Amino acid sequence: MISCIAIDDEPLALEQLADYIHKTPFLKLEGLFDNALQALETLATTPVNVIFVDINMPDLNGMDFVKSLENPPCIVFVTAYSEYAVEGFRVDALDYLLKPVSYSDFLRSANKVIKWLNMQQRNTSQISSDKDFLFIKSDYKLLRINFSDIRYIEAMNEYIRIHLTNSKPVLTLTSMKLIENQLPVDRFMRVHRSYIVNLSKITVVERNRIVFDGKIYIPVSEQYNNKFQKYIIGTLF
């Protein structure tokens, strides 16, 4: 079963989402919320696989809600405003449903969620980790990569590219979220939806960008900036 919650400040829209979830046999509804702040409290103790969320809501809108999640699950936006679509995909939303939503559209989106989660589960077997290194499957081979050799990791659609200090990059089929969970948090930090950096390799920070070799610029996005700035401040002397 795929656990989910729904968030919408419109009672009829929330009721419709609940009805669609209940009639979809592989979905399990963990909660309905008419505002995102209540949902945050629940997610702190009850993690879920997918969130169906409206965007235009009072207090905390759906987009800012998703940006506030440190490790967001699968996100499906459900909204009446098509102009938010591009921004929605910038925060890695899996799908974007326009109101009024038919059950066929909802089911198509739910099936998309299944495919995505199954891919994540399959990719778990692509990566194995130990204390100081990872084994990565690339080009039908298993490659040992020491944490100390990683400079940064870059998202490439369904692939990631691991940039190394003394050898060419390694490309593997997996997600940023999956590999992030395999890395030691005291040595690596996600600074953008498309980048994870090895903190020990950072030598220059310029205008919210990490600079490698004077020519590679890795942006620190707003979503991750507070955490990154706390790290930088903590190392100042």
The confidence score (pLDDT) of residue 138 equals 87
The confidence score (pLDDT) of residue 174 equals 85
CATH class of 127-235: mainly beta
* Residue closest to 53 by CA, chosen among 13, 103, 113, 12: 13
Global model pTM greater than 0.75: no
The confidence score (pLDDT) of residue 130 equals 61
Tell me which residues of the chain have a pLDDT lower than 50: none
Tell me whether the CATH fold assigned to 2-123 matches the one assigned to 127-235: no
How far apart CA 97 and CA 55 sit, in angstroms, is: 11
DSSP assignment letter at 184: -
The answer as to CATH 3.40.50.2300 being correct for domain 2-123 is yes
User: Structural domain boundaries of the chain?
Assistant: 2-123, 127-235
The confidence score (pLDDT) of residue 26 equals 94
The confidence score (pLDDT) of residue 196 equals 97
The confidence score (pLDDT) of residue 83 equals 63
The confidence score (pLDDT) of residue 123 equals 57
User: First and final CA of the chain: distance in angstroms?
Assistant: 50
The confidence score (pLDDT) of residue 175 equals 84
Give me the amino acid identity at 42.
T
